[in-house]
Structure 1
Amino acid sequence: MRAVKTVISTAGNLKRENPTMDEVNLICLRAIRDANVPKFLKDDLTLFSGIVSDLFPKIKEEPEKDSWSQTHSTLSPSAGFVTKCIQLYETTVVRHGLMLVGPTGSGKTKSYQVLAAAMTSLKGQPAASGGNYEAVRYFVLNPKSITMGQLYGEFNLLTHEWTDGILSSLIRRGAAATDTIKKWYMFDGPVDALWIENMNTVLDDNKKLCLSSGEIINMTMMFEVQDLAVASPATVSRCGMVYLEPSILGLEPFIECWLELEKEWKAEIRAKQ
């Protein structure tokens, strides 16, 4: 049901963006594709395309045109990487909890960093999903490097005093802020049941984090994980998924970036001589 709701939300955004588009065919096709393609592997996309072509045999969809500004970065532009950034943005529009999944070298960290920089540089301009782009600030923490009490906060059984955790402190500061900057809370670590099960209420539609102190805080969360081997079905079903794999980038962007950095280093050395 959560997957169906995501498709319906995506279809609603597309209808508002394109009021004259064929609602029965094109909008339905694009909503199904936009909600599902980010989570599929390269080999799965062929099977998915076959299923979609059977459901919508007479429709040939035109490629989308997305306008993104160039950000100051030493990264080499890659069509596959840009597509993943766009998919990540589209997922943030319809899901308040999402996971970036993929092995090392697939570009998980840079994808949300580049997207945050692009949205910040586009601040105030109309967004394709409706409204305007807003600046983004992200907070990164490793939930497996600290205890549960240090993460969420805990009561002292002797003094009965509440001590804030890192997460609750960050969320409280974000909730109290009066600016319009979007806050992304990125958890970089395995999503095992030892700590993630306490966030199921946050990942539900009510978006509420219920702490032991009795506080209820609204928040948005993102997770950066290598795989879902230790994740429970309850958590996976609550999150939007964006899967990245190293084959999307290949070796060429890394080589080009290294050559550009080498040129900069040589120029700095000559300037100092």
Structure 2
Amino acid sequence: MMKGDASQTLSIVDGNNAFNIEQDQRRNKSYFKALQQSFSLIYLKHKWFDEKYWKLAFCSSSFDFINKYPNIFLLYRTVLFVLTIFDLVHGIVNTRPVHEWAIYYTHLTLLITFLAVVFQFLIACRVNFYRGDNIVPRHSLQYIHIILILISLGSGLIVSLVYWLILHNSSIQLYYPKMFLDHGILWFLLFIDIFLFTRLPIYMIDCIPSIIFAIIYGIFTLIVFIFKSKFSNDRIGYVYRAFNLNNSPIRVLIQMFLLIFILPIGIMFILWNIFRLRRSIHVEITNEKEESELTIIA
């Protein structure tokens, strides 16, 4: 059983000391004002929770009906953890040659997703079973945890959209479970965890971790090209055919620019709107409850 009141109303935390669990719970800001404020660097600098809000941030929901079943947090994350580690290990073992597993953007995103899932699983265990003092993780660990989540949500959605809308060829490709796990299902399951089973907010500035992740992979792509690294299937100087700088370098550089900068911003804009909708629903329900309580008192 969780050691916290999941139905507790959350208030704003001082942004100079701790991360905001949700924006102002009492009212909705105008769309464009909220969008402008979500670019504030303060939301990227301070991503941790104090003792008062830590459990509520990671192991409670904005939807009250979910909080009626406190064991669902651990149950869901246990299933997600087992599924993710199975997919990760299965992929590594079956890659030929094995050392090439880590050269793919999809696999690196899967690794980041696995680490984020591990953090989610351990936090659920800590909340349910830990009975000692100092239950709240260090600020540095909380920061790493949230950054992993942001990269997983951003890069995972990029992988899914690019694969199914651009790269996938249904006429020549066979369908198998791992294809769906790596290119959509695991991302969706993590998204459900963050959206339904946490109160973590998403801001536009949160595109920065995904951009940095993409920049690092872009640098790796350039290094592979410069040193003419050789990989299986007679690939020399490239990992993905779409990023083969040996052919049409201008086109490839444009595609890399889109992957590194435009797509992460666009993806975060989509996620920001989805999570803003969650907050709006929560604010509306909270206000309705308060009005109902005032009517009864009157």
Normalising to structure 2: TM-score of the pair? 0.27
Greater strand percent: which structure? 1
Greater helix percent: which structure? 2
Normalising to structure 1: TM-score of the pair? 0.29
